[in-house]
Structure 1
Amino acid sequence: MNNAEFINKAKYIVAKYTNENILKPEQGLISENEVFVAWYAKVLQNHKALLATLIEGDQHYYEVTYNGDKKQLYLDVYNKQENKCFEVEN
């Protein structure tokens, strides 16, 4: 699987999961175009990406991993629990 194929599959999986598990029927459905990649890496035959949606108020981020040895794709869904600010002195 090349980089573009992985990114397309990852966006599709996140959109599908969001439509089926996060959105309420009155909110409508999202497409892959409303999913963005925040971070991506490829090591050997494995891929990993962190993604999010453009849905206002969506507190989830999604981690999609492709295991090239087993030809399996995994989805992990995380919720933002807290946001803290720490002052850093130079």
Structure 2
Amino acid sequence: MNYREKAKQIVIDYYNEHVDITDNKKLTANEVFIVWFSKTLQNWKALVSTTISDGMYYEVTYNGDKKETYLDAYKKWKNVCVKDVED
């Protein structure tokens, strides 16, 4: 099984199901990329983003014990720099 491709396809399917029909846009595999991926034993997790400038970010988690995949969809509100304070 290609875990990365599965993660990308889950995001594509989710986006295409939830995009506003008036946007007249469907997401393709060329517009989806894996930001980070990790696999431990029978479990894996992928952080996925797209080239669409909607601020969405996706986390795809596979639980190998239960044979279930979970999708979390996040909206980025703001990126704030918090500097270290030296004592």
Number of the residue aligned with 1:47: 44
Structure 2, unpaired ranges of 5+: none
Aligned residue in 2 for 1:34 = 31
1:13-32 matches, within 5 Å, as 13-32=10-29
**For the Cα contact (< 8 Å) 1:40–1:48, is it kept in 2?**
yes
Unaligned 5+ residue runs, structure 1?
A: none
Q: CA RMSD in A?
A: 1.8
Scaled by the length of structure 1, the TM-score of the pair is: 0.82
Aligned AA (1:6) = Y
**How does the TM-score come out when normalised to structure 2?**
0.85
Q: Deviations over 1:8-61 (max 9, x none)?
A: 111001011111113544342111221100000011110100000111x22111
Report how many residues are paired. 86
